[in-house]
């Protein structure tokens, strides 16, 4: 039993979807999975295992930010044998053509987190997505007719950033969107030689100020979850 996931070996599938919000983990499990069991409730960070189209899949909440996802991803990999981790989350759009409700597939993520500089002695590491998962997700999203952007994103330690200059610089360099977890997820995947992918829905926009209405929230997230699940079971 690990510190933050009170599960038994074998309780977690090799493929795990990672929403930040544990209640979204429950929503995905209840809506899409069959024969579901809940394997973790510690700190309310719910984790479930079930079957999607006959394939065993887990869904684990990660909380927000680099430290939180790093804890859960590390334990899933090293204690429970996870081999594919697919983050499903929201992001702030950073390009005019990346609009609210669109999907973003993260090729790589830059960050202001100290995680990688600490690990690499001050050098910047560019952590990549799994190309296999990325290609499968892009193909699936195209088949579902979802407007999808593939490119670089930014993993931020700061949600309420007062100084706008870094945001503007990132926009100038073509960064598609900002969120708070992917750089750590991809770096851990590289470290442990497993596959990772981040699939995001644009929930708000840093240029237009627009955000997804409460009413639209669920339906705009449904496409992301279907892309992630189809990618998870390799039926894209
Ligand atoms: N910033 C950081 N993380 C986010 C945002 C944002 O604007 N939107 C959704 N996740």
Q: What is the pLDDT of residues 7-64, one digit of tens each?
A: 999 999 999 999 999 999 999 999 999 999 999 999 999 999 999 999 999 999 999 9
- Ligand 1 atom nearest residue 91's Cα: 9
Whole-structure pTM over 0.95, yes or no? yes
The average pLDDT across 122-148 equals: 97
- State residue 62's pLDDT score: 98
Asked if residue 111 lies in contact with residue 183, where contact means CB atoms within 8 angstroms, the answer is yes
Q: Which of 99, 109, 154, 159 to mutate to test the pocket of ligand 1 (most atoms within 8 A of CB)?
A: 159
**Largest interatomic CA distance in the chain:** 49
Q: What tens digit of pLDDT does each residue of 187-201 get?
A: 999 999 999 999 999
Domain ranges of the chain: 15-232
Q: Whose CA is nearest to atom 9 of ligand 1?
A: 91
User: Does residue 153's CB lie within 6 angstroms of at least one atom of ligand 1?
Assistant: no
User: Is 204 labeled as catalytic in the residue annotation?
Assistant: yes
Assigned superfamily of 15-232 = Nucleoside phosphorylase domain (3.40.50.1580)
């Amino acid at each position: 039993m690990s510190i933050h996931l009170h599960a038994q070996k074998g309780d977690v599938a090799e493929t795990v979807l990672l929403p930040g919000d544990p209640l979204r983990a429950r929503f995905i499990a209840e809506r899409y999975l069959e024969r579901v069991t809940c394997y973790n409730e510690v700190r309310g960070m719910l984790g479930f295992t079930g079957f999607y189209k006959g394939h065993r899949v887990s869904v684990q909440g990660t909380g927000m930010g680099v430290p939180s996802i790093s804890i859960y991803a590390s334990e899933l990999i090293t204690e429970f044998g996870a081999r594919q981790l697919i983050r499903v989350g929201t992001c702030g759009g950073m390009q005019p053509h990346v609009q609210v409700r669109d999907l973003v597939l993260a090729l790589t993520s830059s960050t202001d987190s100290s995680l990688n500089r600490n690990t690499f002695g001050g050098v910047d590491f560019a952590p990549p997505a799994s190309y296999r998962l990325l290609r499968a997700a892009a193909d699936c999203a195209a088949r579902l007719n979802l407007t999808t952007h593939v490119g670089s994103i930014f993993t931020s330690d700061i949600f309420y950033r007062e100084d706008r200059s870094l945001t503007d610089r990132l926009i100038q360099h073509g960064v598609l969107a900002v969120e708070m977890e992917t750089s750590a997820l991809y770096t851990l995947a590289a470290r442990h030689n497993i596959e990772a992918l981040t699939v995001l829905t644009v929930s708000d926009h840093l240029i237009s100020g627009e955000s997804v209405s409460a009413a639209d929230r669920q339906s705009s997230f449904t496409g992301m979850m279907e892309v992630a699940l189809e990618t998870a079971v390799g039926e894209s």
